[in-house]
Amino acid sequence: MRKTVLWGACIVIALSAIAWAQQPSGEEALLAKAKTIHERAITIDTHVDISGADYATAELDPGTNTRLKCDLVKMKAGGLDGVFLAVYVGQNPALNAEGYKRAYDQAMVKFEAIHRLAEKMHPDKAEIALTPDDVVRIEKTGKRVILIGIENGYTVGEDLSLIKKYYDLGTRYITLTHSGHNQIADSAGPREPMHNGLSAFGRKVVAEMNRLGIMIDVSHIATKSYWDLIEASKAPIIASHSGCAALAPNARNLDDDQLRALAKNGGVIQVVALASYLKADSPERAAAISKLREELGMGGGRGGGGGATGGAGGRGGAGAQPPQQQMTAEQQAEMAKRRAQYDERMKEVNAKYPTASIKEFVDHIDHAVKVAGIDHVGVGTDFDGGGGIPGFNDHSEALNVTVELVRRGYTEEQIRKIWGGNLLRVWREVRKVAGQS
């Protein structure tokens, strides 16, 4: 009898050992939890750039696995449900009718490309959303949700009626400025102000956007413009791709006073995944990047900024520059070739001079949550326009963000807010101000 009891005890111990061995490790359990949360959340990236005339063509088909950081294949692989594609156009320093007309024409090329992608090339894989309810509905079908934002209000020119036209084409936010002052407001770029904040015309633009239910994006605008806008807008605002100045001093990032005002306004900061806005480059790294860009004849233009993988991206387009300054198709192809070389050689720079990673990215989320609150933080990568960091270099790696948030103790409810819930709440409030259901 004693022997039987001993054997029974041994069997229990052995089975317990096997069961213990089959228990997932702490990291495996964390990953499993993150995957479950990620699958249940509606995940939205509020800022991705697209290239020019080649976007959504046989040459550059976002329905396939492309050189881009954002395409439908990578979105599906990373569990990224929706993305705002940016209709960006550069601007002529001279604010005149000729430049506005070129900006309009080039914006139309990008609108056409986005609609071509969702409506003609891949209607079985993607659909354009015009309302928050559309986002929820499309996500349930398994398609990718395509949303549209305009980056740089220069495309409005001096014609307020264009805002309605852009709305009808699907625009649901407009970034008021880019890297230079325009007819609407002062930008964070130049040091000397043009309007000392919002212009008189800019206030009319804000009122029209409030009327139509278009979200107002403060990324890129000057500090004085920001405070003018907080006062002028009747609806919550967004920062579609910005960081926290307290962690990375930069004119493009929001300081703590701005974050607190954003929360009081009811808005949301979408934290950017662009390395130089997350962590200041060391002098050695900055020099190495500058030298590389000079060697490749890329100058300091858009697509750089010290992105972790170079950020050569796909912004494309000739910009609203005078004709003699515009690139031909051949020149654009050559630039794309240089961008590919740049990305490859940036791997050496990153190995020698490490930059911001997903850790710093989530540090900015942490800080924004601490200052503005959990209801006022989201994600806006700036992929294909400079964004991309180790651990979150393209949309196929979106799950890594959720993993890091779980690691830091965020709950499922909080993570769902960060990944899309907060943005949808703001959008609904903007529509409510406009009298829309």
Structure tokens at 231: 């006062």
Q: Does the pLDDT at position 283 exceed 50?
A: yes
The pLDDT of residue 274: 96
Q: What pLDDT digit, counting tens, does each position of 222-231 carry?
A: 999 999 999 9
What number is the average pLDDT over the span 150-173?
A: 99
CATH 3.20.20.140 fits 27-281+355-435, yes or no: yes
Domain ranges in the chain are 27-281+355-435, 282-294+330-354
Question: What pLDDT sits at residue 325?
Answer: 45
Using the predicted structure, report yes or no on whether residue 84 has a pLDDT greater than 60. Answer: yes
Q: What mean pLDDT value characterizes the chain?
A: 90
pLDDT of 332? 66
Asked if pLDDT for residue 4 goes beyond 50, the answer is no
- pLDDT at position 323 is 44
Residue 23's pLDDT is what?
60
Q: Comparing C-alpha atoms, which of 111, 112, 115, 110 is closest to residue 126?
A: 115
Per-residue model confidence (pLDDT) at position 307 = 47
- Checking if the pLDDT of 437 tops 90, the result is no
pLDDT at res. 324:
40
Q: Is the pLDDT of residue 310 over 60?
A: no
pLDDT in tens, 382-421: 999 999 999 999 999 999 999 999 999 999 999 999 999 9
Report which of residues 328 and 288 the model is more confident about.
288
Closest CA relative to residue 380, chosen from 357, 404, 401, 359: 401
> Which positions ≥6 away from 157 have C-beta within 8 Å?
97, 100, 101, 103, 104, 183
**Given pLDDT bands bounded at 50, 70 and 90, which one contains residue 22?**
low
The answer on pLDDT for 133 being more than 90 is yes
Residue 314 pLDDT:
52
Banded pLDDT at 319 (limits 50, 70, 90): low
- Answer whether residue 313 shows pLDDT above 70: no
Name the more confident of 308 and 259. 259
pLDDT band at 52 (very low <50, low <70, confident <90, very high): confident
pLDDT in tens, 206-250: 999 999 999 999 999 999 999 999 999 999 999 999 999 999 999
Q: What is the mean pLDDT of residues 78-96?
A: 94
pLDDT band at 303 (very low <50, low <70, confident <90, very high): very low
pLDDT band at 316 (very low <50, low <70, confident <90, very high): low
Average pLDDT over residues 425-430: 99
Higher pLDDT among residues 29 and 339, named by residue: 29
